[in-house]
Structure 1
């Protein structure tokens, strides 16, 4: 493998998906992990490499089934507007296919009933639409699209055991893999580029340490979140005043959250959760009592009357974790880390899938830059290493900072967190009566706009000058 050969591309102008032909050489990229981050990264890599191989440890079926490697997959997942738009760019027509398959299209401000910090946010149009569906359904739809790309090979039920390096251990040149099927032996797979998208349990820190690089610094915000989820029937002509419902707590005393989303299969998915060890029980009466103690009664009322379809599933999340590979004194060539392998957020905020889409976008930008400048793969990977943390700063600050509202949360708060939490507290209150404040906040929450936009004078002025007392609405 000659990784010093600069990338270049030839554009096939007849392709709707902006397919880019790679150089005439045996360029091979390996992706560790076939979850959403790995699938999105593979879609990007397919435009620049002759062959892309995805290794996924789970056994995959051609249906929207939960899998062992994604234990939180049975629970509520949100794909915010920015993430959905980026997925649509990579897979034209995906949004329509999701809706045709049963996903519900929901307008973020008029269709959502959102109780937060003691008040109901306004219900006004914003033009910001997302789709609501289960995580397995979304992942399956993306995986089907990826598997239709001729130069991508997805190998499931296969365990990546370690990195393979050159003689000096200065560059990752492949991976050692072993199928989980009976009788399989370990194999070495060579690659020009290796992408770790294996998730929160990524072994890259350990593998780098074994190669003499040391481990990356980490930022950890321990939130001790737990939640419980159940599916309920959603009758086709049900008379409901909202399409989705959120009842969020008022910190620091309130710790309990409830969410109802419409999903495919004509179902409601109901999730109850809590911070700092206040976890919902998984028995019928205990779960209902937990819902009764939310700050608004709507979810409790719904659960008393709705028809349950499944048992109660639980999940616990200990901490937000961000790995700072960009701070390492030495980092090998030929390696990229993205998705939850790089930064995993409190899943209650629903940032993970959208951030993975942003990581894939950054990878494309870095590959395009390498093409135009005639740079090598190692130069491209180094640029990604330095660039992607800047994209993570905003969602990390929002998630980690929000979690610091609860006194039981442990960790090093991002700089400026006390001010940001005070400011956003007033923004939330004003979103109950000022439609422009609400829409600007929702655009930031959906990662359409930078958090800087929440300090626009149209928001800053009322935050600093108006009373935020609002009578709770029914």
Structure 2
């Protein structure tokens, strides 16, 4: 593969930005087409309705972003992000117990999604061979026999006509609403098989003041439910602008109201009183905003017998998780890492772009398997969840239930679990004898705190 090529990325969200950073090292030009209007600040975008709510970038994702954009973490913290140690600064109530709080060195930054995306977008715009075109919708693929050869675009600017943009590689990072299955069908291909886990999650989010001298026995707070009967969650995170972001949510249609009294009563109903106490005494800065997420979805492009050359699908276009688990941005970073590996190997071996794209299509699902099993499997703990549960889900949920209980009294189990949850380690590590032995040989039951 030589550099005399052009890549097009559909979608200027975090997945598209991370992919563009990788592509810039291997292509003469990279063009990102984004349907939203982009401004040079941390304003939420219309096309990312969940952007106004709590987002987590787990340690593995933050590390990968730092590798692509050296100094990003420092920029975030200098701009107001809060840096916290997950096993020490988080107060985490889960499955009826408070997890231990011990040092581990697993530090992440807490900020709003628009703030993080804005910083990444600014860094991408500094790359000389990357162009970001906003207010522009991709209407369909341009294609020749057996290959995607570009995209047909429609600018939102007055009087603009449809235009075909040629590309040697097209990357779909357009998100959950990806049109790739439909466009492939129009080209004569089958739609990819898909798994759907219907969770019907809904939540409400509100910002509160975070005075500089305010003191709490925690720097972040999570109160999670005990399935199958408990369905309500609450989260308090510090974010930029000296604010707290508070999210209340529930599974299987148990959604919070939006009015002040209703929100407070919802917080009172959580399994521990701490978020209710916090909200009762804190100073609200905004009204609450709501969001509803219907289902986890995963598209199996790797199973298609026929697939066009010149096309890569990644991010939420490929696999969309329940956002409550905060896996989306980190898996997008893993997708970009996989893309880099495939491009570098292809350049070394002299492979064609189509061979590289096909290698990515086969390789990236292996990286998605662990987070998909953890999210989809966890959601199957609730009886109102419907869908194709990953194989072995009942056994895994039984096992992880005992791991959560042990994490309330065994610091090594806690740290191992948090490393897996942050995608630093493979889930295989949670079956290490140091965890497996106490799970199987002694009671992991812990009385409710």
Q: Are 2:341 and 1:365 aligned?
A: yes
What is the match of residue 372 of structure 2?
396
What is the match of residue 14 of structure 2?
36
Alpha-carbon distance between aligned partners in 2 of 1:182 and 1:227, rounded to the nearest angstrom: 37
Contact 2:252 2:384 in 1 (8 A): yes
Alpha-carbon distance between aligned partners in 2 of 1:326 and 1:468, rounded to the nearest angstrom: 39
1:193 aligns with one of 166, 169, 185: 169
2:199 aligns with one of 209, 218, 223: 223
Alpha-carbon distance between aligned partners in 1 of 2:143 and 2:174, rounded to the nearest angstrom: 19
1:330 aligns with one of 306, 327, 330: 306
Q: Are 2:242 and 1:263 aligned?
A: no
Alpha-carbon distance between aligned partners in 2 of 1:303 and 1:455, rounded to the nearest angstrom: 39
Instruction: Give the superposition deviation at 1:466.
Output: 1.7
Unaligned runs of 5+ in 1: 1-5, 8-22
Instruction: Give the superposition deviation at 1:465.
Output: 1.3
Alpha-carbon distance between aligned partners in 1 of 2:258 and 2:110, rounded to the nearest angstrom: 24
2:399 match: secondary structure: helix
Alpha-carbon distance between aligned partners in 1 of 2:448 and 2:176, rounded to the nearest angstrom: 39
What is the match of residue 62 of structure 1?
40
Alpha-carbon distance between aligned partners in 2 of 1:469 and 1:217, rounded to the nearest angstrom: 40
1:106 match: secondary structure: strand
Alpha-carbon distance between aligned partners in 2 of 1:48 and 1:224, rounded to the nearest angstrom: 41
Q: Are 2:96 and 1:113 aligned?
A: no
Instruction: Give the superposition deviation at 1:329.
Output: 1.4
What is the match of residue 314 of structure 1?
290
What is the match of residue 457 of structure 1?
433
Alpha-carbon distance between aligned partners in 2 of 1:327 and 1:288, rounded to the nearest angstrom: 47
Alpha-carbon distance between aligned partners in 2 of 1:439 and 1:327, rounded to the nearest angstrom: 36
1:310 match: secondary structure: coil
What is the match of residue 16 of structure 1?
none
Instruction: Give the superposition deviation at 1:214.
Output: 1.6
Alpha-carbon distance between aligned partners in 2 of 1:144 and 1:309, rounded to the nearest angstrom: 27
Alpha-carbon distance between aligned partners in 1 of 2:106 and 2:375, rounded to the nearest angstrom: 21
What is the match of residue 229 of structure 2?
253
1:147 aligns with one of 125, 139, 158: 125
Q: Are 2:189 and 1:213 aligned?
A: yes
Instruction: Give the superposition deviation at 1:228.
Output: 0.3
1:348 aligns with one of 324, 341, 346: 324
Q: Are 2:115 and 1:137 aligned?
A: yes
Alpha-carbon distance between aligned partners in 2 of 1:239 and 1:172, rounded to the nearest angstrom: 56
Alpha-carbon distance between aligned partners in 1 of 2:215 and 2:239, rounded to the nearest angstrom: 17
1:392 match: secondary structure: helix
1:430 aligns with one of 382, 406, 421: 406
2:315 aligns with one of 297, 321, 339: 339
Write out per-residue CA displacement over residues 75-111 of structure 1, whole angstroms, 9 at most, x where no aligned residue: 0000000000000000000000000000000001000
2:245 match: secondary structure: strand
Instruction: Give the superposition deviation at 1:472.
Output: 4.0
1:270 match: secondary structure: strand
TM-score in terms of structure 1 length: 0.94
Alpha-carbon distance between aligned partners in 2 of 1:68 and 1:203, rounded to the nearest angstrom: 18
Unaligned runs of 5+ in 2: none
Instruction: Give the superposition deviation at 1:468.
Output: 1.9
Instruction: Give the superposition deviation at 1:469.
Output: 2.7
2:418 aligns with one of 425, 430, 442: 442
1:110 match: secondary structure: helix
2:64 aligns with one of 86, 93, 96: 86
Q: Are 2:211 and 1:235 aligned?
A: yes
TM-score in terms of structure 2 length: 0.99
Alpha-carbon distance between aligned partners in 2 of 1:451 and 1:237, rounded to the nearest angstrom: 39
CA RMSD, Structure 1 to Structure 2 (Å) = 0.6
Alpha-carbon distance between aligned partners in 2 of 1:425 and 1:394, rounded to the nearest angstrom: 17
Alpha-carbon distance between aligned partners in 1 of 2:214 and 2:438, rounded to the nearest angstrom: 39
1:326 match: secondary structure: helix
Alpha-carbon distance between aligned partners in 2 of 1:467 and 1:237, rounded to the nearest angstrom: 43
1:39 match: secondary structure: helix
Contact 2:402 2:445 in 1 (8 A): no
Q: How does 1:18-33 map to 2 (within 5 A)?
A: 23=3, 25=4, 27-33=5-11
2:316 match: secondary structure: helix
Aligned residues: 449
1:174 match: secondary structure: strand
Alpha-carbon distance between aligned partners in 2 of 1:181 and 1:269, rounded to the nearest angstrom: 35
